Amino acid sequence: MTAAGRRPAPPRPATAELNGITVSYAESGEGPLVLMIMGTGSPGRVWQAHQVPALVRAGFRVVTFDNRGIPPTSECPDGFTLADMVDDTAALIEHLGAPALVVGTSLGARIAQELTLSRPDLVRGVALLGTYGRVTPLVSAFSAGELALIDAGIELPGDYHAAITAKQNLSPHTLADDRAARDWLDVIGFGGQTRSAGLRAQLSLPEREENRLAAYAGIDRPCLVVGFADDQTLPVQLAREVAEAVPGSRYAEVERAGHFGYLEHPETVNELLIDFLRGVAGE
């Protein structure tokens, strides 16, 4: 276990040929295996800002990876399905040494849900952040709009793109602080705009996603659902629906947090994750 207060060693990057594609991943720490799945358009390294160091210090072996569509993992520009992404995740867990504690956010949480349902042998417990069990008309409309911009070759003015992204993914309480808002706008602006074939393939997924709430009654692994009270991308009632659908699940809600709640309030989210993961690992 990493001593308290000591900075964890840098992640160990690697690639593996799994499920017919190249999967890029990074591994940190030692202990029970935790696999973390990121959401639409984001690389796995986003977890390394706050969650990976905290989990490594708590005594876990943490693996993050880039989903299909996000380089250097194969982009698969001809398109793919959610089932393909679930199979990628299953293959990675088998490669790492199953089973794993699984953490996902947004699309990553949806993948984690489907993985837990279809391959419970690979999952010790699952934590779902900002999740959903059905696609709403608003979610579909946003995805369709992003696809239209990509297909038309349109790139928004940088400041405007940053403002829209902040408004959609951060809590109004965060944005009410001018200094915090400026910092977030700078961070988002620095990241630029992605208009890749792989991102387009991920954005196409909601068109084919079904309402899976009834199916989640079949999930039989320990489950933590974390909702973000001010989530505008996937409104918090969607997370509550998943918690109600999964038998015996634990639900926690983070106040003053938007879709990026794990970045806005990392201490709160990390505390919830560590408490849950330690409880499952100790069973």
Which amino acids are annotated catalytic?
A: 106, 231, 259
Sequence-distant (≥ 6) Cβ neighbours of residue 70 within 8 angstroms? 38, 41, 42, 43, 44, 198, 199, 202
Q: How many residues does the chain have?
A: 283
Would you give the end-to-end CA distance of the chain in angstroms?
A: 19
Give CA 276 to chain center in angstroms.
17
* The token pair that represents 247 in the structure block: 């038998």
* C-alpha angle 111-225-90 in degrees, rounded to nearest 5: 25
Cβ-contact 163, 185 below 8 angstroms: yes
What DSSP string runs through 26-50? EEE-SSSEEEEE--TT--GGGGGGT
39 within 8 A of 31, measured Cβ to Cβ: no
DSSP letter string, 94-160: HHH-S-EEEEEETHHHHHHHHHHHH-GGGEEEEEEES--SS--HHHHHHHHHHHHHHHTT----HHH
- CA nearest neighbour of 93 among 33, 46, 52: 33
Nearest to 99 by CA among 172, 32, 7: 32
Torsion over CA: 210, 215, 220, 223 (sign) = positive
